[in-house]
């Protein structure tokens, strides 16, 4: 998961929709004076993309490793 920290306005919409509750606002400010969103535990991310879909400023990109979808299907 990649955040464009400089464009994030800290609206927290991504934080509220994350089913794993692994997103929060950074204590640091970006150049616009906002607390950008950040992930607290990337290993717990399921790649559901709810955060990216909810973001009004399109600052979140969810990346998956090759073969990850097949591995998750085998687990479930």
Q: What is the pLDDT of residues 16-62, one digit of tens each?
A: 999 999 999 999 999 999 999 999 999 999 999 999 999 999 999 99
| Token pair for 35 | 């607390």
What pLDDT does 49 receive?
96
Strand 60-61 and strand 2-3: pairing?
antiparallel
Asked whether residue 75 carries a pLDDT value surpassing 70, the answer given is no
Helix (H) or strand (E) run with residue 15 in it: helix 13-17
Domains in the chain, please, with CATH? 2-75 (3.30.70.20)
**CA proximity to 42, closest of 26, 63, 56, 27:** 63
So what's the pLDDT on residue 67? 66
Residues 6+ apart with CB under 8 A from 43: none
């Amino acid at each position: 998961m990649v955040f464009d920290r400089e464009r994030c306005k800290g609206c927290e919409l991504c934080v509220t929709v994350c089913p794993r509750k692994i997103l929060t606002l950074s204590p640091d400010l970006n150049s616009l004076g906002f607390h950008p969103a950040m992930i607290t535990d990337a290993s717990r991310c399921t790649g559901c993309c709810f955060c990216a879909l909810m973001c009004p400023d399109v600052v979140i990109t969810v990346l998956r490793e090759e073969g990850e979808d097949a591995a998750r299907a085998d687990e479930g």
